[in-house]
């Protein structure tokens, strides 16, 4: 038996078509949604993600700019740039690509982004709103994509056991909150979890977000599990692989996301949705 592939790339394309149609409507009302991405330093992976995000915007008719800043940029300089974008009425979404250099305090930067333009959903205001289920929060893109892909399999999350491996602020923690909102029973595992395999084997839905290539092997998964692989690890050969050992696990799981072509494109599609929402909200369009 071999798992059904969850095609994130195709689903992302569908979402982009929907966003594109809405952008066209907004343009008729004189609003062009705009995303500004700040990239500090020269991390090759970040450069490629940022480039893809700008291209996505173009494809759906949004304005986008990538603001490149030197690795040596000071915290004050970065803050000033964020503040300028906060004030710019043509900018609806602001994203500071992570990671940023160690000499800059990530928290200070995220806190400086206007919550109404925080299309990553990383600002404490949006995180708090997500916790209490307020409707007007920007939900973080990757977790939003994860939930969408699970639903795409036809799985009703209600009452199911979702096991999330990883507890980062960007993926693990918010993904568990969104799964909880879908009425799943959620277990969050991490590097200090004892008997990890015993827990992941009880999952109806397994979300791997650890950032370690091929860590989830077949002995972590029971037959019939929906497996969502959030990992994007570049291995020595230059190949991009997930946190899940795809070859082995796809023999056991009922559904599985590939890497590439799974969660990654969904992260970018959800960013477009959030930017669209930001433009509508800022201009008071429902």
Residue ranges binding ligand L34 (CB under 6 A): 48-49, 52, 95-98, 120, 141-142, 232, 240, 259-261, 264-265, 267-268
Measured between alpha carbons, how far is residue 268 from residues 13, 55, 106, 209, 211 in Å?
10, 10, 21, 17, 18
Between CA 110 and CA 122 the distance in angstroms is: 7
Burial letters for 211-240: b for 16+ Cβ neighbours within 10 Å, e otherwise?
eebbbbeeebbeeebbbbbbbbbeeeeeeb
Based on CB atoms, which residue is closest to ligand L34, 49 or 246?
49
For residue 185, how many C-alpha atoms fall within 13 Å in the half-sphere facing its CB? Answer: 7
Nearer to ligand L34, 34 or 199 (CB): 34
Q: Which residues are catalytic?
A: 53, 97, 120
Residue nearest to ligand L34 (CB): 264
Burial class (CB within 10 angstroms; exposed 0-12, middle 13-18, buried 19+) of 261: middle
User: To the nearest whole angstrom, how small is the minimum distance from the Cβ of residue 140 to ligand L34?
Assistant: 7
Cβ-based neighbours of 196, under 8 Å, separated by 6 or more: 165, 189, 220
């Amino acid at each position: 038996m071999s798992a059904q592939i969850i095609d994130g790339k195709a689903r992302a394309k569908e979402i982009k078509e929907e966003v594109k149609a809405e952008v066209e409507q907004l343009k008729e009302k004189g609003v062009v949604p705009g995303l500004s991405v700040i990239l500090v330093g020269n991390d090759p992976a970040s450069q490629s993600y940022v480039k893809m995000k700008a291209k996505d915007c173009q494809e759906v008719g949004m304005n986008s700019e990538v603001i490149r800043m030197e690795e040596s940029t000071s915290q004050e300089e970065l803050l000033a740039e964020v503040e300028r974008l906060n004030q710019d009425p043509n900018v609806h979404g602001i994203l500071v690509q992570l990671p940023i250099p160690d000499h800059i305090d990530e928290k200070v930067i995220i806190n400086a982004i206007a919550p109404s333009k925080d299309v990553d959903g990383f600002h404490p205001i949006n995180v708090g709103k997500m916790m209490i289920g307020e409707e007007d929060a920007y939900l973080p893109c990757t977790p939003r994509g994860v939930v969408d892909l699970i639903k795409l399999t036809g799985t009703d999350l209600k009452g199911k056991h979702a096991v999330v491996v990883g507890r980062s602020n960007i993926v693990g923690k918010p993904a568990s909150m969104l799964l909880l909102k879908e009425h799943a029973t959620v277990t969050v595992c991490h590097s200090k979890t004892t008997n990890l395999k015993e827990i992941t084997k009880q999952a109806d839905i397994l979300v791997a977000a650890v950032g370690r290539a091929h860590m989830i092997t077949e002995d972590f998964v029971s037959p019939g599990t929906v497996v969502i692989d959030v990992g994007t690890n570049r291995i020595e050969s230059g190949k991009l692989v997930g946190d899940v050992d795809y070859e082995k696990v796809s023999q056991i799981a009922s559904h599985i996301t590939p890497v590439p072509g799974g969660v990654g494109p969904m992260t970018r599609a959800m960013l477009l949705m959030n930017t669209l929402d930001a433009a509508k909200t800022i201009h008071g369009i429902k």
